[in-house]
Each structure stands twice: as C-alpha cells, then as structure tokens.
Amino acid sequence: MASNPPSRSSRGRARGRGGAPSENQSPPRPQTQGPRPQTQGPRPQTQGPRPQTQGPRPQTQGPRPQTQGLGQQVSRPQASRPQTTRQQAPITQTKQTTESSNIEEITQGVLNIRTAKDECHSEVSISRGAMHGRGMMNNDILLVKPEKARIKGKEGQFGNPVALLSNYFPISAYTDWVLYQYRVDFSPEEDRFIVRKGLLGAHQKRLGAYIFDGTMLFSSRKYEPKTFELTSKRYDDTMIKVTITFTTVLDPCHYAHIQVFNLILRNCLRSLNLQQIGRNFYDAKAQIKIPNHKITLWPGYETSIVLSDSGLLWRTEISTKVMREETVFDFFVECLNNSKRNPGWMETFKAGVIGQTVMTRYNNASYKIDDVDEKANTQSTFEKKDGSKMSYVDYYKQKWNITLKGGKQPMLVSKKQRALKSLDDKSSEDLIYLVPELCSMTGFTDEMRNNFTTMKAVSEYTRIGPRDRINRYYNFHKRMKSTPEAMESLKNWNLGLKEKLVEIKGRMLPPELIYTVNESYDGGFECDWSRKITTKPMFKTASLSRWVILYPERIDYREFVGSLMKVSYEMGMRLPNPDMILMHDTQIRYYSQILEQIINEKNPSFILCIVSSSRADIYNLIKKKLCVDRAVPSQVVLSKHVSIVKLSIVTKIVVQINCKLGGAPWKVAIPLAKHMILGFDVCHDKQKKNISYGALVATMNDSQTSFYSCVERHESGQELSAFFGATITKAMLKYKELNGCFPLGIIVYRDGVGDGQISHVYQSEVTAIKKTCNVLCKDNSPGLAFIIVKKRISTRFFINDRAGFRNPAPGTIIDTVVTYPTMYDFFLVSQNVRFGTVSPTHYNIIEDTTCISADHMQRLTYKLTHMYYNWAGTVSVPALCQMAHKLAFLTSQSLRASPNVGLDELLYFL
C-alpha cells in the first residue's frame, strides 16, 4: 500500500474554504459538455513527519459551530473527520487488526452526519453537496418548499408535451429500505479513528454492512437489543469495550440517506479500477494523448445518487480530466527565467499554483495546493515516527527509486484535515509537502483557453453528441453491472440498478416574438435573430450629441467609421460624425493623460478607443479612467476589427453603443406590471482574493428595458447581508424615483451559489430584502420571489424520436421526475446547440410570496433569457443574471473599485 507524502501538523486552527466562485463564461456561446478541469482532489492520509525548516505556516481559523434540528447550535464532535481508506506517500502506520474483508466500511464524507435526539424522527442537518473544508451550515430551512409550492404544486401546464430521456438510472430497493443510526462508544477511550475502525471491524459478522464515521454507525439492519456491548483486543493487547446504542431511524426523505447512498456508490466505483480525482472517477488506462499540445485527457464519470420526485436515481455524466505534461517545476523555471523583467516572479508563481490541483507522477494521487513554502526545499529534512530525520531527496530515492534533479525548488503545501484528533492536540490539519518536479499540472491555463487550435483539438474528444453520450451511459452501466464486487456491495444494502434511463414528460414553450420599435418577428426555434436586427430599427434608440474615436497611428479607420454610420442609420440610430483623435504615443501612461484632456476639452457623451493589442493593462486603465474616475460610457475595439470590417462585428458595436447610452435594441412581451426584476452575482478581486464585489442589475420599467446597477465591495469575513441590503435599498429608491412608487413585486435571480451556501443565502440575503421592504414600504411590502440559478450541473436531457437521439429545443421545461421533493424547482433548456450536448440550467425558488404561478414563473424565466443585448439570441441564464456577472467581473478584474454613480442607469459594462 502506498504511503503518504511528508507532512507536518499545523499549529493553527482549520480554516474553511470560501464559496463557489462565480463562472467566467462567455455568455453568447451555448453551453455544451466539454472537459471540466477538477479543482478538488481526494484528501489523502497523512499523519507523519514534520520538516525541520521554518517555512511560512498559513494562518487558519477554527471550525464553525454546527447546527442541528431547527437552528440549535451544537459543537463539532471530535470524531467528525474520517480518513480516507487509500494512502498516498512518508508515514509510519499504527498497527491494527481488522478482519473486514467482506464488509463495507465507507468513511469518507460521513463527517457531516450528526446525531438526532428524537428516536422517532431524525432532525439531522445535512447539506446536499456541502462545501468541502467548511463547517456545517444550517440547511433545515431548505428542507421545506415555499408554502405556495406546497399548496399549489410546482408543475406547470403550458406548452407542448415532449418525451425526454435523462442521464439517470432508477435505483430499486429489494425491501423497504430503512437506515438506522447508532452511537458507538469505546472504553477505555480511544481517540484515533484508524484504531476505532479496526476495533469495530473485528465484529463484521455480527454487524453486517455498515458505515462508520468515527462516532456514528449507520446500517440498514436493526440490531437487537437497542444497546449491546462487544469486546475487541487492541494492537497493544488492551481489551476495549465497544458499546453500540440505537439513536434514531432516519427519515426516508432525509439527505442523510443520500450521503450514505453516495458513499456506498463510491465504494462500488472503486471496484471498477477507476482512479478517483476529487469527486469523480477516471479511467487512466483509456487516456488520450494530444502530443502537439502536450495534453493528456483522462475520460471518466461524474456520478451521484439523488433523491428526486420519482425516488432514488443514479445520475451518471461524462467527465474529462485534463492532464498537462508540464510539471509545477517547469512553471517555476519559466517564472524564474522572467525574474529580470518581473521582479515579483515568485508571486506570479504562487498565483499560478495556489488553488490548483496537481497530480503526483509516482502514484497518481491528486492534491489541491494551498501554499508554497519558499524556505523549504528538497534538501530539507523531516522527522519520522521513530525520531530519525530524513531529507526529501533521500525519501523519494529510498521509497520510490526517484532521483530528484530540480535542486533547491520550493516545496508545495497541501492541507489535509485530521480525521480524529486527541483532546490535547489543538492542531486540526496536516500540511503535506510535495516536490514540484514530481507534480503534474492539471486543467487548462488561460493561454490554452484562448488558443483556438488547442481547444479545437480537445473538443474533438470532449464535445460528445447525444447519441454517443447515451451509448457511454449504457456502457458504464453495463460495466457496473458486470463487476461482481460492485453488485455485491449494492446487494449487501438491498439496492439494485434498473436497466433503462429514466423517461420524463417535459414541455416545450413556443418561440418568443422579438419586438422592435414598430414591428415584431419570430425568434424561431433556433433562437437566433442576429441577421434580422441589421435590417430592423431598434426598440429604443439613445441620442448622442458628441462622441470621440481615439485611434493609434497607421490605422485606416475610414471604412470602419463609414460602416458604423451606415449600419446605425439602418438600425434607427443616428450617429453624428465623431471627433477623431490620433494617439501619437500608445504607451500606457499616455492613455490616462489623453483621456482626461478629451473629457475636459470636448465633454463627449461616448468614447470609442481603438487599441492595437488586447493588453489587459491598457484595457483596465481605459475602463478605470472612464468608469471610476469619470462617468463616460466607452467601447474598446481591437485594431484588427477596424482594418478588416465585418458586418456582424459592426452591428454588435452599434448595439453596444446604443445600450451603453440608455437604449434597448429589442424586447419581448413580459406582461408583469409594477415589478422589479433583478440579478445579483459576486466576483472575487483579481489580486486580493479576500476582496469581493457584489453586483446588482435591476429593471426600472414595465417593459424591462430600463436598468439600474450598483456594486458593493466587501471583504471576506464581513456579513454579505449588510451589503446586499444596501444594494436593494438603492434599487428600491431608484425605482420609486423613476416610477413614483415602490414595486408591487420583486423577483431576484441569484447566481454563483453552491448547494452548501443556500441556507446562508436564505438567512442573510432573503432576510435582508424583507427587512429593507418592511422599512421602506411599511405595511405594503412587495411580494418577493428569490430564485437560485445554477448553470454548472450534471443533468442532461435528450429527445428520442424517429430521427434518433438529439438535443431538446430551446424552451424545454422539466419540472417533474428528476426535480427535488424538497425544492420548488425546474430545469430549463434555453439555448440551441449545433454540436455536442446542451446543458440545461436549474432554477430553485427558495422564497415566493408573489402571485405568480409556476407556469408564469417558468415562462418569465425563459423570456428573460432573450434579453441579453450582447447576443442576438438566447443565453443560458436570465439576462439580469448575465448582466450582474458581467458587471461584477469587470469590477473585480479591471476596475477594482466601485463604479462612478453617474453610470448607474446605463449598461456601460456590456
């Protein structure tokens, strides 16, 4: 069995990781299934040697208090963090005696399960997909749908029925499946989890199949009597009394069941000879090499068991792990070679490594890098269990017969939470030290993502169409069914897999009409009206009195400007002749001076800057000058688009100019009077990760074509609800200023929320909106609908008709079978995909006090996907969501400060 990499104990306390980051996705492109670089690896076991160097030790915080029942706070049990059963690399293992060859002891991930005092009904607080490394969050509120959905249901009726398949296999239970929970006590007390597991495992014949997390035991068997004692001999011949006490029967609808089911499934998957990386499993033997781009693809699967409205389902989805031939040491050398040009090269190296997942080449184990220890290197020594010292160079030579060649390279640090710690041991995590030259980089770099040739080569293997994708589902299902160990594991728990994918009856909404100033046209089933907008006048055009085009030398702009004038006229917008300003010096420091001079002398309403390259520093300076220091809408255009004029690009620029000045190119019919619809998203500062910017974009009129936006900056550790309440207050006051009254209803589309954060969002953001409305509106508070928008999901849908398997058309709604019994939710396919497989978006309505029915909420959501003005077609989320993300991203990456309030009624960020 492989051993763990060198590690040391952290003297700080555990620090929870932050929430899921927001997705930086190009909105015009439909979502298709491609490679998903994983960012979280399995937590390997370490409890061993400490390096003798005094490297920097990350400061950490203690575990957060846990919640149980209806908001009752409880302390984290000592046995809350189990170790994984697979070991990775130097540790002297404690001797143990276990005879559990036929037993399923699955320990990873059960730490979130807590004891309930009620023996008849469980009140265990479990998060569906809780965040790794973070304390348990109170999710009890999420186990109940909004009252309206419980009374009237969540299924709509509008639309044409359509028969669908989804990537779920039903799970059958041979008997009425019951999960019993027991508490396990040891006398004398034994704190080491690995020893506890061995003491309990000695009684496999008596206990049968079970799951043990260090304190609690879960089994489908009901043991008699309710309390009984067993005796085991420890490795030092000490006799240990093991007392097992029944505590409760877990409710069938409780998420504790799902956690246990997924642990059982994970154990089954290990018997398929697949490599676990993060939460997914990959087939290293079926790897695909792309030598021209120094990339290797590992095909694999993302699987889980979910509790749906139709019962237990096994979801399986195709996943691809991108492995790079480049090692971390290669990247280190690259940064070092640029040290003369970049004095902060070490910070560049750290920024490129910290937070990334690497793969160790000697045993294919994955680790998430949390820090870089500059003071440690391969010559540093660590103390072994027997007290002797060994250098990393000697360790890898003796253990793996590897000769390190990288010299004094800094060591990578990966944190691993302790499974079970002693009462007198205040440290709660181990720091695993890794050698850069032995760690392969994973995932795509920004350079790779921007390289068309690279991404095209990868997409040939990852862009899988509906027919091939379904074939892979069935092949994986067949592989599972034909593996005796996997089927025996399921049988031990009285579970089985059905043979066919689940069938669903969805509904397809009709195409929307796109309205211009004096006519309308059909958006079509493909939802693309990019050709029609060039010949139709826009719905609302803004006036422009004076504008400036700033251009560098050796650029012939005449054809480009002529096309702008011509296209804008055909689209109903009259652009005056611009003032052309030549840039004699394109150095970055000159941009600030010339822009300030232009604003002072000409006072333009709009500035278009032509730049020779896509340098981020120039773009950031222009945007910060015109969006923060001053309030002038602007557009940055690359010179290559000016030299070679394309009608499609010119049309998009005209649309953006109109939007940034307050116009609207089109609209769809939204019969919802006196309602404010808003989107909210959060992005982290590009350089200071502890700084985040929350962006809100809200509609201000009944046609939903007038907008207000604001951004609030906050630091990690500060309560987001205060900032969210401030943005809502600003939007409410602006709505009253423009309309003479507060809105009758507020509809919030909230992006960037992970499953483990939903409870917190409800308790902070939803509560903040309610408080704001109560203060501003007194007894006439508006109705509120708060909708969590989730794009990164593994659910897929397919149509199977005479033409074979194909993607559902835009407007397809699914609100049954694969939806969740504890949610008021639905899936929506809003985009047309020509290649690959379309990705639906999941909507979870966690609060709804409006008078809007389920049908109308689904239709409203689909209508709003037509309103993102950067793309003449539908996008994957409602336009307000995409706008909020665009604003938050611009602020966090370029402006790094709150925008000028003079722009808050304009879509200057498109």
Given the residues 203, 675, 760, 885, the one annotated as active site: 885
From CA 664, how far away is CA 658, in angstroms rounded? 7
Question: Omega before 188 cis (within 30°)?
Answer: yes
> Whole-angstrom distance between the N-terminal and C-terminal Cα of the chain?
55
Measured distance CA(356)–CA(531) in Å, rounded? 42
Residue with structure tokens 């999941």?
842
DSSP 64: P
Q: Which residues contact 773 (CB under 8 A, 6 or more apart)?
A: 732, 746, 781, 782, 784
Nearest to 909 by CA among 872, 875, 883: 883
Q: Using H for helix, E for strand and C for coil, what is the string for 301-331?
A: EEEEEEEECCEEEEEEEEEEEEEEEEEHHHH
Range list of H helices, 713-766: 720-739, 758-761
Q: What angle do CA 73, 77, 81 make, to 5 degrees?
A: 120
Token representation of residue 523: 């958006």
| List of E strands, 350-410 | 357-360, 366-368, 371-373, 381-383, 389-391
How many beta carbons lie within 10 A of that of residue 221, not counting itself? 14
| Cis status, amide bond into 225, omega within 30 of 0 | yes
* CA 549/CA 634 separation, integer angstroms: 10
Q: Is 326 a catalytic residue?
A: no
Query: Rounded to 5 degrees, what are φ and ψ at 60?
Result: -130, 165
704 near 745, Cβ under 8 Å? no
- Cβ contact 639:611 at 8 Å: yes
* 420-429: b (≥16 Cβ within 10 Å) or e: bbeeeeebbb
**Pseudo-torsion of CA 173, 174, 177, 180, nearest 10°?**
-120
**Is 751 assigned a catalytic role?**
yes
386 is catalytic: no
Structure token pair of residue 308: 């749906």
Please tell me which residue in 140, 373, 429, 681 is annotated as part of the active site.
Answer: 681
Residue among 696, 705, 660 nearest 678 (CA): 696
d(CA 565, CA 535): 14
Give the number of other Cβ atoms within 10 Å of residue 525's Cβ.
13
**Any idea what the Cα angle at residue 253 is, between residues 249 and 256, rounded to 5°?**
65
Mapped onto helix, strand or coil, the DSSP state of residue 340 is: coil
Asked whether 258 and 305 are in contact (CB, 8 A), the reply is yes
211 neighbors 105 (Cβ within 8 angstroms): yes
Give the pair of three-digit tokens for residue 124: 């265990």
Rounded to an integer, what distance in angstroms lies between the CA atom of residue 859 and that of residue 812? 10
213, 371, 751, 815: which one is catalytic? 751
Rounded to whole angstroms, the Cα distance separating 282 from 320 reads: 8
Is 371 a known active-site residue? Answer: no
Active site residues: 681, 719, 751, 885
